[in-house]
Structure 1
């Protein structure tokens, strides 16, 4: 037997969920400093946001069917509201459901918050970038100037942290050889062989074996 519950207002519950999403984004922004890690957490949270928005849209449709069923019973003098509800619910169509979910307050506020977080990351990266970027060596993997350098302890070459990290992750435990063409050190290395506490000073650039013209594609 289907039981029809009174459709109570869900404003308070929606506000609580909305506040929860905002707090989650603020927690990610304040405690996760790596932009790549932030994106991973944001993707996970995004799925939950869309799921909650979709459930709320369906709940609104359900409330509409309940109200229509009650009105129909009152008009016809029908006592069995459960049967009327079941008949009416069969014909319910979640019209423009995708559009309604996309325009839901959960989704809109989530996108606004994450857009601000992304903009803040870009501004922070731009502020941290050295002013002499044109003189920086190119990363052998991405072919763009190095911004966050790491140094190979075995050969002394520098790489962009994010690109060499991905390359090593793809190789797993085996490790890789130095991606600079002509590097004299042919031994494999892993991430533990990299020094993260480095900065590319002009003196280091002058003494480095790095040759921009000899980097691989």
Structure 2
């Protein structure tokens, strides 16, 4: 790795390394965008009832992205840890920075497991949204397993309509967000306004869903619920088609 030294002062410049770290963080953003794209395509496949093998390919792609994100995160941590250690030690000679980073990186990699993916927020959100969209569409898995073709999709949608109503506005949501802590959904603008209003008055924001015990909501608790948004849009399109011309 690049670096200059002044042995009399025991000083090493890390400007080149910091620049490389910046590039790695940009790559992390690219991985994040890739995961968003895969998630969107997978939801499209469920929505259009495309064959399961295509959806499975998206699942595999998301696993690969999650693995890359984990490995890259470990490498960034290894570099940062090495820099901090060298700055504290202030050696007279330039150490083998590459070797030090590799050792720290391998130490982190040795602790890897498939369970790590459960800590990747985008991966977890991807799995949850696929599950929710399958549920909203009544998924064909149940129909195929029984060989029945007569499931009433309108009945399934009707049973889900209560999930379409924001507990704050009491209107059908257009841009739903989910609370990661309690799992309840709200219209984004309404819940953001509510949280901001409470926090300005130095009060805790409680989940507005009746009976919910989550009493300290934060903005970071909210994530877009793409699966629910798609289900609501599909339901709205069905309603429009049924309206007399």
Q: TM-score range by the shorter chain?
A: 0.3 to 0.5
Between structure 1 and structure 2, the one with the greater Rg is: 1
Structure 1-normalised TM-score? 0.44
